[in-house]
Amino acid sequence: ETGVTQTPRHLVMGMTNKKSLKCEQHLGHNAMYWYKQSAKKPLELMFVYSLEERVENNSVPSRFSPECPNSSHLFLHLHTLQPEDSALYLCASSHDETGRVGYTFGSGTRLTVV
Amino acid sequence: AQSVAQPEDQVNVAEGNPLTVKCTYSVSGNPYLFWYVQYPNRGLQFLLKYITGDNLVKGSYGFEAEFNKSQTSFHLKKPSALVSDSALYFCAVRFSGSARQLTFGSGTQLTVLP
């Protein structure tokens, strides 16, 4: 375990469903991130939160909605997804938003949209 | 434009032989450089980083990387490969003065053959 826990590990959802991904860390980190990993593509940064405030949104479609209720928890709410949204969604945290000491990643949620 | 590249999608090496996984970057400043490893169905795990100082950085599991400013490279190396080193390796760069994210390469699949 890295200290960053993601649930569920696997998720299959229809295009009309609403679901949420959860990320939790108790490392005392102040910044949290959502990344999308698709096969043979660079990791795509989706959202950055620092001290519970969203500080970056990399042109992500509105069908993805993040929520950071406190510095230990990060959610990604999903609705009306498309099959091309199927991917591994990775959560990461870092000491602060500068990322100087690197990130700690969770194991990811494997999402399949049918 | 600032970028990071891993020119090889796949690297194969025989067990016991030295391995190299390549990473180059393009930046107009002093970058922070990282290597991460990803095993199947897992998140990324930190291997090593270069921030400043000695150009040769030693990390986990016997890996090391050399920062070469003139060639803008940060190749990952190991003197003697193990079958258990087989995984997906990501180079990441945080460009000084940029916003809050690491930029990842597209990954290199390393296969160590017994």
Using pLDDT thresholds of 50, 70 and 90, give the confidence band for residue A84. Answer: very high
| Helix ranges, chain B (H) | none
Any chain A CB within 8 A of the CB of B90? yes
Mean pLDDT of B5-32: 92
Q: What is the pLDDT of residue B98?
A: 55
For the segment B71-106, what is each residue's pLDDT rounded down to a tens digit? 999 999 999 999 999 999 999 988 766 555 788 899
Determine whether the interchain pair A100/B99 forms a contact, defined as Cβ–Cβ distance below 8 Å: no
Pick the residue with more confidence: A51 or A81? A81
Q: Which residues in chain A touch residue B101, judged by CB atoms under 8 angstroms apart?
A: 33, 45, 48, 56, 99
- B46-66: pLDDT as tens digits: 999 998 888 999 998 999 999
Instruction: Tell me the residues of chain A between 54 and 113 that have a Cβ less than 8 Å away from chain B.
Output: 55-56, 90, 92, 97-108, 110
Residue A13 is predicted with a pLDDT of: 93
Residue B5: pLDDT band (50, 70, 90) is very high
The answer to whether the beta carbons of residues A74 and A5 sit under 8 Å apart is no
Specify the 3-state DSSP secondary structure of A42. Answer: coil
pLDDT in tens, A9-24: 999 999 988 999 999 9
Q: B49: part of which helix (H) or strand (E)?
A: strand B44-50
Residue with tokens 């060639």: B71
* C-alpha dist (Å) from residue A94 to A13, B17, B35: 30, 35, 15
Q: What is the mean pLDDT of residues A81-106?
A: 88
Which residues in B lie closer than 8 A to residue A9 (C-beta atoms)? Answer: 41
Interface check for A6 against chain B (CB to CB < 8 A): the answer is yes
Residue with tokens 């990390």: B59
Contact assessment for residue A25 and residue A93, using Cβ atoms and an 8 Å cutoff:
yes
Query: B27 and B72 in contact (C-beta within 8 Å)?
Result: yes
Interchain CB contact of B10 with A (< 8 Å): no
